[in-house]
Structure 1
Amino acid sequence: MPRPASRPPRVAMLSVHTSPLHQPGTGDAGGMNVYMVQLARALATKGAEIDVFTRCRGEGLPARVPLADQVTVHHLHAGPCGPLAKEALPGTLPEFSRDLLRVAEHCRSYDVVHSHYWLSGQVGRAVAGHWRIPLVHTMHTLGRVKNASLAPGDSAEPAARILGEHQVVDAADRLIANTADEAAALHDLYGAETTRTDIVRPGVDTETFSPGAGRQAARRRLGLPPDAFIPLFVGRIQPLKGPDVLIRAIAELLGLAPELRTRLLVPVIGGLSGSGAHAPGLPDLCRHLGVDDVVRTEPAVRQRTLADWYRAADVLVVPSRSESFGLVAVEAQACGTPVLAARVGGLPTAVQDGRTGLLVDGHRPADYARNLLALARAPRRAHAMGRAGVRHAAGMAWETAAEATLATYERAAWTARRGWAGAAACPCPGGIPPLEVLGSRRFRERLPK
C-alpha cells in the first residue's frame, strides 16, 4: 500500500534500454541518462532510497553498482547479455520483468515505480500491478512527435512503439512531462488526462557546469586557439539532433563571410546513435561542402571536460528536429555560453530567446548561418547573453526537480488510495499482469491503422 507520508519513499526506477552508468552522447545514452543520475541523487539527499534497474549489456560490471548514497544500479538478465538494437528490445521485456521481480525479492519493498521511456513503462505497468503500488512514468521522447519532424531519409518510429506509448499513458497513475509543450503533446496526441500529468522541469548541476575561470582558461586547457570563433555541437550523431543542419549552416556562413575561415573552428562532440551501424555520413558531408578543414569531430567526453568545451565555445548550436527539453542548452548557459537553437519542443523553455540565446524557426541552414554571423560580429551581445544564461540556469536546480517529483509520488499514492484497479481487475498466472510480446499476432492486431 502507499507509504506513510512521514517516511521518504523507496523507489524502483526502471531504464530498460540504457543505463545511468553509460556515457552520455554515445549509443542510446543522452539527456535521459543525465536526468536519471541527477534526479536519483537529488531524491536521495531528501531521504529517498532508489534502486535503478537496467538490462545487462555484458560490460563486465557487477550485478549491483552503487551510484551514490542510497542509489544502486541493478543489472538484470533479459535476452543476451550484450548490446541489442532497440528494435529487438521489446521481445526481452517479459524476461526483464521476471528478473526484476526475482531480484527485488532480495532488495526491499517499494512504494512507487518510476519508469523512463516507453519500453520501461511497459515493464512498469506489469510490476507495479504485481506489487500493487503506483506507477509514475516519464516519457522523455514521444514517437508521434518524432514522426512529425523527421529528417529527410530518417526512419519513422514504428507503430508498435506508438501503441506501446498509448498503453503506458493509460496505465500510469501519474505522468511527468518536462515542459508544458510536452504535457500538451501527451494530451493532444495520446489522450493523457491533464489532471494526471505533472510538469517537472529538469535541473542542471551548477557545481560541474559553471563559468569557472572563463573562456580563455578553458581554451588553454583544451589546446584551442585563443582568437577562434567557435560554434559548438554536443549530442549524439543522429538526424534527429540535426548535426547536418549545422554543417550546412557553416558552409553558408563561409559564403557570407569567407574571411571567417582563418579563425573558424566547429567542434562536433558526440558518438554515433544506437549501434552505429548506419553512420549519418557527416565526414562525407563536410568534404562535399568544403568545410572539413574547419569541422573537428570529437568523441563524447565526461561531464567536467564537457564543461570546458562549453566554456571555450562562443555559442552552442542545438538544431534538433525534436527535443523534449534540451539539457545541453541549459548546461551551456550555466557555463556562460549563449545558445542558438531550433524553436522546437522544450528548447523555448530552456533558452530565453533574445536574452540567453537565439531561437530559429525551422531548420533552414541559411537562417542559422545569419544568426551565427550576427554573433560573430557582435561579441559584446553574445557575452551579455552568456551572463544572462548563467542567471537563467541558476534557477534550474535538481533539488527543485526532486521536490516536485516527490510531490508527484505523493499524488500517485493518493490516486492509488482512491481505488487502484490494476492486476486485481484481471486474474493472471502467478499474479503478474501479462506483457504482450511486441510483435506477436495479438499485439499486431491492435496496432493503429
Structure 2
Amino acid sequence: MLGSVVGKGQAQRGMYVAGLIRAFRRSRPEVIVMMEEGFSFFAVQVLLVRWALAPGVPIVFYNNHIASFSNFSYRLGPLYSLLSRLLIPRMTAAFCINSKAVAALKELGFRGPIVEQFYGVNETLFVGISKHDARKKLHLHNDDIIFLFAGRLVELKGVQDLIEAFAQLCHQRPGQRLRLLIVGRGDYESALRQQVQSLHLSGVEFRDVVPQEEMPSYIAASDAMVLPSRTEIDEQFGRVNVEAMLMETPIIASNSGGIPEVIGDAGYIFQAGDVGDLLATMNRFLDNPTTAQQQGKRGKERAMRRFSMAAFATAVVQMLEQVTSRRLR
C-alpha cells in the first residue's frame, strides 16, 4: 500500500494526493488493474501517469455504471459524460458488475475485452452459523419466523412496501409468530417507524447498522432475507443477496435493476413496488418450506461459483493472461 487519497468513499470524486507516481516507479507495471470507474477522477490521474511513466501498458478497469454514459443522474453528470468519452476508449479491458453495465460500455463504443464479474463477497466470512446460536446471540426467539431487511433506510429501498405486506401477512396468519427485523439507518427511518406505529405492528423491530463481521449472525438468525427495492433505484447488484446466498438463507427480492440476474433460480422474485405481489411471494415462501430450503442450497452453489472472492480472483488472472498474452498459472 502506497500513498493516500482525498475524497475517500466519494466514488468518482476521489483523488490520489500521494503515492501514485511512486507506485508506478517502484512496480514498473506490465498491466494496471484499476478498481475504479473509467470516468472517475482516479482514472484521469492513472491515465496521465501511465502516459508519462508507462506508455502502452494495458489498463483494466471496473464498470459499475448501468445506464447510458450520456445520461448521468449526478450533479457532475455532464463532466462524467465527457470524461467517459475521453478516457474509456483509451483503456484496454473491463470488468462489469452485470449485463446492463456491459451493454452500457458497448453502447459507448468500447471495443476491448469485457467480462461480467462481481468483485466478490468474502466467502470465508459468511459461513455456517446455527440458527439457534445466532438467535441466542442476538436475543431473538427460536419460535419466531423472522424476515430480515438490511440496508439503507431510504424511500427507494421499498421498506415501506415490506412493512405494508408484513402487516397484511400478520393479519392473514394470526396463529404464526411472524417477525420483521429491519437493520440499518437512513433519512426515511422516522417515516418507517411512524408507519409501523400507525399499523399497530408489534412484530417489527428496528436495529442500527452493524459491522459487516456481525451480518452473518443476522442472516443466520433469519428465515428469509427480503430486498424490496423500487424500480426507480435500479439496483446494480444487491450485495446482501449474495451474503444471504452464501449462508443458504432464502431470498425474497424485487425485480429492480440487476437483482434477478444475481439471484437466478435461487430465490423468490416479485414485481418491484407491488405490495400485493410481495405479500403473495411471502405467503408462497411460508407455504413451501422444502422449496425454500432447496433454493437456499442452490443459492450457496451459485454464490460460490459466480460471486465469491475466489471466483473474482480467477477472473482477474484470466483477464491478465488475456491482456498480457502470458500464462500466469
TM beyond 0.5: yes
In structure 2, the residue matched to 1:180 is: 99
3-state secondary structure, aligned to 1:246: helix
1:88-113 residue CA offsets vs partner (Å, 9 max, x unmatched): x74xx6xx345344553785433414
1:210 has 2:127 as partner: yes
3-state secondary structure, aligned to 2:174: helix
1:225 has 2:144 as partner: no
C-alpha contact 1:144 1:162 (8 A) present in aligned 2? no
State the TM-score, normalizing by the size of structure 2.
Answer: 0.79
In structure 2, the residue matched to 1:436 is: none
1:342 has 2:261 as partner: no
In structure 2, the residue matched to 1:402 is: 313
1:244 has 2:160 as partner: yes
Match of 1:134 among 48, 51, 58: 58
Task: Give the letter for the 1:388 counterpart.
Answer: R
1:295-336 residue CA offsets vs partner (Å, 9 max, x unmatched): 322233233321111111111112234222322212101112
Task: Tell me by how many angstroms 1:168 deviates.
Answer: 4.1
3-state secondary structure, aligned to 1:198: strand
C-alpha contact 1:316 1:339 (8 A) present in aligned 2? yes
In structure 1, the residue matched to 2:110 is: 192
C-alpha contact 1:134 1:173 (8 A) present in aligned 2? yes
1:125 has 2:47 as partner: yes
Distance 1:74 1:97, change over 3 A: closer
Distance (Å, rounded) in 2 between the aligned partners of 1:116 and 1:350 = 21
Distance (Å, rounded) in 1 between the aligned partners of 2:143 and 2:94 = 47
Distance (Å, rounded) in 2 between the aligned partners of 1:286 and 1:383 = 32
In structure 2, the residue matched to 1:315 is: 224
- 5+ residue gaps, structure 1: 1-71, 149-155, 273-277, 415-449
3-state secondary structure, aligned to 2:145: coil
Task: Give the letter for the 1:363 counterpart.
Answer: G
Task: Give the letter for the 1:115 counterpart.
Answer: M
Match of 1:367 among 272, 277, 295: 277
- 5+ residue gaps, structure 2: none
3-state secondary structure, aligned to 1:226: coil
3-state secondary structure, aligned to 2:152: coil
C-alpha contact 2:196 2:204 (8 A) present in aligned 1? no
Task: Tell me by how many angstroms 1:224 deviates.
Answer: 0.6
Distance (Å, rounded) in 2 between the aligned partners of 1:333 and 1:202 = 16
Match of 1:270 among 180, 184, 207: 184
Distance 1:318 1:84, change over 3 A: closer
Match of 1:290 among 199, 209, 212: 199
C-alpha contact 2:148 2:222 (8 A) present in aligned 1? yes
Distance 1:369 1:223, change over 3 A: same
C-alpha contact 1:210 1:336 (8 A) present in aligned 2? no
Distance 1:198 1:128, change over 3 A: farther
Of 301-310 and 262-271, more deviation after overlay is shown by: 262-271
Task: Tell me by how many angstroms 1:265 deviates.
Answer: 2.0
Distance 1:73 1:251, change over 3 A: farther
Task: Tell me by how many angstroms 1:402 deviates.
Answer: 1.1
Task: Give the letter for the 1:238 counterpart.
Answer: V
Matches for 1:375-386 after TM superposition, within 5 Å: 375-386=285-296
Cα RMSD after superposing both structures: 3.2
C-alpha contact 2:147 2:223 (8 A) present in aligned 1? yes
Task: Give the letter for the 1:180 counterpart.
Answer: S
State the TM-score, normalizing by the size of structure 1.
Answer: 0.60
Distance (Å, rounded) in 2 between the aligned partners of 1:238 and 1:347 = 18
3-state secondary structure, aligned to 1:249: helix
C-alpha contact 1:173 1:196 (8 A) present in aligned 2? yes
Task: Tell me by how many angstroms 1:225 deviates.
Answer: 1.2
Of 243-252 and 396-405, more deviation after overlay is shown by: 243-252
In structure 2, the residue matched to 1:306 is: 215
Distance 1:175 1:102, change over 3 A: closer
1:349-375 residue CA offsets vs partner (Å, 9 max, x unmatched): 32133xx21112332122112111221
C-alpha contact 2:63 2:97 (8 A) present in aligned 1? no
Distance 1:124 1:235, change over 3 A: farther
C-alpha contact 2:2 2:19 (8 A) present in aligned 1? no
Aligned sequence identity (%): 22
In structure 2, the residue matched to 1:170 is: 89
Distance 1:370 1:289, change over 3 A: farther
1:97-131 residue CA offsets vs partner (Å, 9 max, x unmatched): 45344553785433414132342334333333333
In structure 2, the residue matched to 1:259 is: 174
Task: Tell me by how many angstroms 1:173 deviates.
Answer: 1.5
C-alpha contact 2:65 2:104 (8 A) present in aligned 1? no
Structure number with the bigger relative contact order (C-alpha 8 A, sep ≥ 6) is: 1
Distance 1:220 1:98, change over 3 A: closer
How many pairs were matched up?
313
Distance (Å, rounded) in 2 between the aligned partners of 1:294 and 1:350 = 30
